[in-house]
Chains A and B, each alone.
Chain A
């Protein structure tokens, strides 16, 4: 790897032990990638606070120890300096403000609070969401970023046109205190062309349609970049948020092109860089049905006991939709309904009265985490219903529950009736 003089000084320890460790990690990582240099970044989204039972076991050693081990891969515990790059915190372990969740894990709540203070003081902004682009971190087209969170990465590259690979906890930790990340993959313009063409032959319109399309094409193209033909409706932020999260769950999709929608895509030919697609896929009724059945393959019992909405974290528009569906109604005593939205948007939901409507119906509005990350669900949960392809994909694997995937309206009906009656219509 070729390093600049400034990078060489960091590697030689001129900026302290932590920066030295960070640069050492970036060099090892860059060499593993086959990258030949680093690139400057001033937009990092990562994970710092101890979350998850295994990392919390380290919490007694203090936050410098957590940072050293899990953000720098350093056996020796070094003191974390203030961040050098603008850095935001992604989703966390629990919602420490929520009484039910807090009660389930008092210790986790304490560890998280201490971590927020520690890392906040170093300059890590506590956005505490998987959707930083919903609450203030919207990069500029072409900006070099170092983001974790697969659903945010695909949004950043495709919808915004900024540049990031799917970074990890350790590489974003190193980037935060050096302002560097390997110049590899999607940072390089010629790697941003599509190699697959997806010919969409059915209407893709509502949220469920977009989730199913994302889930299907993730399986088709895996880590490659698709360009779409035949899309006829204008997607919104929430549809592309859902679509991207699904594609990044079933595959490893980090970027896509939609002519007329994504900013780097002038045309189908332009997206393909003037080359023929390596493979062309058809997305029709059969492919949509297969995606639906795969997402619902763990679901056996129609007796639903937990409804999870808001993965990726709901926009304020989505919270409002849930409130409208619940207005004047009451969920079944046999179900729990949790709606997740970023903390900053929950403030708006509170002020707009949506939180009260959801609470009056027997539901809860939560922030900072999700059931897949926290591994916390209402006690005794066996069967989940969710409007998120991502959550339906991961929750059964992580927690062993059954999962139904459907529309938000089907999920709200399930909360009220205690039974799943949704389906692909």
Chain B
């Protein structure tokens, strides 16, 4: 079993684990996701049609409308939010959205999670300690 540890800064505390869903595309909230299903709907997005519900969502950051936080807030109310989020670029959109999702969230990593975590890897996030434990799926 290949286990890799990443260290980051706490955005929202808590502990969670699950399967990784990874994208190199930044994500739009309003106009980018459907909170009822948790699916990405942006036409040109590599995750278009894929749901982040109950996944550990690994992404570069947020883009687009200021409705970002509201749409991920609605996703939490609809039960479609990810289990935890890991992102690289702090903006007001993604930080406020993370607070609204109320799931463990980390950023500012010692190594780029996008180069280490792949779809299907098992990821344990301890946001209080700032630690991400990645178990590679093919190991």
A252 to B92, CA, bound (A): 11
> Which residue in chain B gives the minimum CB-CB distance to A47?
B70
Known pairs A149-B66, A252-B26; A73 contacts B41 (CB<8 A): no
Which residues of B, 44-88, contact A by the 8 Å Cβ criterion?
A: 44, 61-70, 73-74, 77-78
Known pairs A222-B26, A297-B43; A168 contacts B69 (CB<8 A): yes
A73:B73 contact, CB within 8 angstroms: yes
How many contacts between A and B, using CB within 8 angstroms?
A: 113
Chain B CB within 8 A of A96 CB: no
Chain A CB within 8 A of B97 CB: yes
How many B residues, CB 8 Å from partner?
39
Q: Which of B41, B91, B98 contacts A252 (CB 8 A)?
A: B91
Nearest-Cβ distance from residue B89 to partner chain A, whole angstroms: 7
A395 to B12, CA, bound (A): 32
Chain B CB within 8 A of A258 CB: no
Known pairs A32-B12, A394-B31, A396-B43; A170 contacts B92 (CB<8 A): no
Known pairs A169-B70, A222-B63; A32 contacts B105 (CB<8 A): yes
B43 to chain A: which residues have CB within 8 Å? Answer: 297-298, 396-397
Known pairs A54-B74, A70-B73, A397-B31; A29 contacts B66 (CB<8 A): no
Which residues of B, 11-53, contact A by the 8 Å Cβ criterion?
A: 11-12, 26, 31-32, 35-36, 41-44
Chain A CB within 8 A of B117 CB: no
Interface readout for A164-190 with B: 1 if CB under 8 Å, 0 if not?
A: 011111110000000000101100000
Residue among B31, B41, B96 with the highest chain A CB neighbour number at 10 A: B96
Nearest-Cβ distance from residue A299 to partner chain B, whole angstroms: 12
Nearest-Cβ distance from residue B14 to partner chain A, whole angstroms: 13
Interface readout for A258-298 with B: 1 if CB under 8 Å, 0 if not?
A: 00000000000000000000000000000000000010011
> Which residue in chain A gives the minimum CB-CB distance to B62?
A252
At the interface, is chain A mostly helix, strand, loop or mixed? helix
A32:B36 contact, CB within 8 angstroms: no
A252:B93 contact, CB within 8 angstroms: yes
A202 to B9, CA, bound (A): 44
Residue among B36, B61, B90 with the highest chain A CB neighbour number at 10 A: B90
B66:A150 contact, CB within 8 angstroms: yes
B134 to chain A: which residues have CB within 8 Å? Answer: none
Known pairs A223-B63, A252-B63; A168 contacts B31 (CB<8 A): no
A249 to B66, CA, bound (A): 10
A115 to B100, CA, bound (A): 23
A54 to B79, CA, bound (A): 13
Nearest-Cβ distance from residue A404 to partner chain B, whole angstroms: 14
A150 to chain B: which residues have CB within 8 Å? Answer: 64-66
Which residues of A, 229-273, contact B by the 8 Å Cβ criterion?
A: 248-249, 251-252
B36:A54 contact, CB within 8 angstroms: yes
Nearest-Cβ distance from residue A115 to partner chain B, whole angstroms: 15
Nearest-Cβ distance from residue A69 to partner chain B, whole angstroms: 8
Q: Which of A55, A185, A397 contacts B41 (CB 8 A)?
A: A397
Chain B CB within 8 A of A79 CB: no
A248 to B31, CA, bound (A): 13
A25:B63 contact, CB within 8 angstroms: no
How many A residues, CB 8 Å from partner?
41
Nearest-Cβ distance from residue B42 to partner chain A, whole angstroms: 5
Nearest-Cβ distance from residue A370 to partner chain B, whole angstroms: 12
Nearest-Cβ distance from residue B94 to partner chain A, whole angstroms: 9
Chain A CB within 8 A of B95 CB: yes
Chain B CB within 8 A of A33 CB: yes
Q: Which of B36, B41, B78, B97 contacts A398 (CB 8 A)?
A: B41
A397:B32 contact, CB within 8 angstroms: yes
Chain A CB within 8 A of B114 CB: no
Nearest-Cβ distance from residue A416 to partner chain B, whole angstroms: 28
Chain A CB within 8 A of B131 CB: no
Nearest-Cβ distance from residue B128 to partner chain A, whole angstroms: 13
A185:B91 contact, CB within 8 angstroms: yes
Known pairs A54-B35, A394-B31, A397-B32; A170 contacts B64 (CB<8 A): no
Chain B CB within 8 A of A194 CB: no
Interface residues of chain A, those whose CB is within 8 Å of chain B, are: 25, 28-29, 32-34, 47, 54-55, 69-70, 73, 148-150, 153, 165-171, 182, 184-185, 222-223, 248-249, 251-252, 294, 297-298, 372, 393-394, 396-398
Additional pairs, 7, CB under 8 Å, beyond known A33-B95, A252-B63, A252-B93: A32-B98, A54-B78, A171-B96, A182-B92, A184-B92, A252-B62, A397-B31
9 contacts between A and B (CB under 8 A): A29-B95, A29-B96, A32-B105, A70-B73, A168-B67, A168-B69, A171-B69, A171-B96, A396-B43
Q: Across chains A and B, which 7 residue pairs bring their CB atoms closest together, nearest first?
A: A168-B69, A252-B63, A32-B95, A148-B66, A394-B31, A165-B92, A169-B70
